[in-house]
Amino acid sequence: MKQNLILSLIAILGIMFVAQFSFARTTQAPLVRKIQQKTPKTYPDVDDPIVEPSPFKFTTALSFAYEQNAAENSTGIINRGLGLAIVPKFVFWDFSIRGDFLYAYDLNHPRPNSSWADGVISLMYDGWKLSAVKFSPYTSIELPMSRESRENREIEQVNNIGVLATLDTKALNIENFSLSYSAAYGYFTNKYTTRVNGDPATKYKIVQTLKTGYNFDPISVGAKFQFISSYSYEDVVRSGFLISESISYAVNETLGYSLYHYNRAAFLKDTTYENNLQAFDRETSTVGVSMDISL
């Protein structure tokens, strides 16, 4: 299963790279030949080709990060780790295909805990605009690349469908501000209805995400709140949340640096079932720094 996932991932990335260069060659070659064959002129030539912008675009974002617990946990340990995020994106006409892949290296216990996180491949349509809000539908597949998903949860894949609503702040005469909300439904394909540790397996989930940001070039700040509701085959509901904040500095269009904090935890405390929603928690908060590269 692991080998098939890795081979599929390599094949998808290979196709996207080949498509990038083939499209660039077909759209740019006529213009290059024309420039080479003609001498410079100050007036237009009716025989000159009209070169339109290519509807195809391929980009890749890389992020190298260091993370650690914001404070010592109850056992007096600070967990530390490194991460490599790879985000290829292929745009064609009004559609885009994007991959999200992350490898996490545990500095405290590298041998048992270092692993790929679950990968995501998504397809999004640019969408429709209604007043000052644009709605973009999307679908995605989550690949069980992590050790937890393969060995304990025994997930085969997760199929998601959702919609992204983005506020056109420029239409409202609000500069440099962004705001978006997305909601998605995910259906799990599992080998069994019970996990290896005895917990009921997740049947489907609902994920809601709210993002906002402000850009005062070259510095930008952002925040995200995500709420996840998971439903098992035995109608057991598990709820979790993610709260994150970041500040980034763009050196140029290719290179940037970021400082960030996030708290990912269960919505209710394990023993008392009290509300656990908070931006910072000594046990679960993580801080990090990253170097971000756009190609």
Higher pLDDT, 203 or 72: 203
Q: Is the pLDDT reported for residue 151 higher than 70?
A: yes
Instruction: Give the confidence band of 49 by pLDDT, cuts at 50, 70, 90.
Output: low
Which residues, at least 6 apart from 114, have a Cβ–Cβ distance to it below 8 Å? Answer: 103, 104, 105, 106
Q: What are the distances in angstroms from CA 26 to CA 51, 55, 59, 95, 110?
A: 11, 12, 18, 20, 46
Same domain, residue pair 41 and 140? no
Higher pLDDT, 275 or 26: 275
Which pLDDT does position 98 carry in this prediction? 97
DSSP 3-state of 113: helix
Same domain, residue pair 76 and 151? yes
Same domain, residue pair 47 and 183? no
Same domain, residue pair 119 and 2? no
Domain closes at, from 36, 54, 72 = 54
Which pLDDT does position 192 carry in this prediction? 92
Number of domains in the chain: 2
Same domain, residue pair 46 and 65? no
Query: From CA 158, how far away is CA 118, in angstroms rounded?
Result: 10
Phi, psi of 264 (to 5 degrees): -115, 120
Averaged pLDDT of the chain = 85
Give the rounded distance of the alpha carbon of 295 from its chain centre.
16
Domain closes at, from 15, 32, 54 = 54
Query: From CA 239, how far away is CA 225, in angstroms rounded?
Result: 14
Same domain, residue pair 171 and 131? yes
Which pLDDT does position 27 carry in this prediction? 41
Same domain, residue pair 187 and 130? yes
Query: From CA 276, how far away is CA 97, in angstroms rounded?
Result: 36
The residue-averaged pLDDT of 69-84 equals: 87
The residue-averaged pLDDT of 164-192 equals: 94
Same domain, residue pair 253 and 266? yes
Q: Is the pLDDT reported for residue 23 higher than 60?
A: no
> By C-alpha distance, which of 262, 263, 267, 207 is closest to 240?
267
Same domain, residue pair 49 and 67? no
The percent of residues above 90 in pLDDT, for the chain, comes to 63
| Residues of the domain holding 33 | 1-54
Which pLDDT does position 264 carry in this prediction? 94
Query: From CA 197, how far away is CA 209, in angstroms rounded?
Result: 29
Which residues, at least 6 apart from 121, have a Cβ–Cβ distance to it below 8 Å? Answer: 12, 97, 98, 99, 100, 140, 141, 143
pLDDT in tens, 199-212: 899 999 999 999 99
User: What Rg value do the Cα atoms of the chain yield, rounded?
Assistant: 23
Phi, psi of 26 (to 5 degrees): -70, -30
Higher pLDDT, 204 or 9: 204
DSSP 3-state of 71: coil
Q: Is the pLDDT reported for residue 68 higher than 50?
A: yes
Which pLDDT does position 274 carry in this prediction? 85
Query: From CA 259, how far away is CA 242, in angstroms rounded?
Result: 17
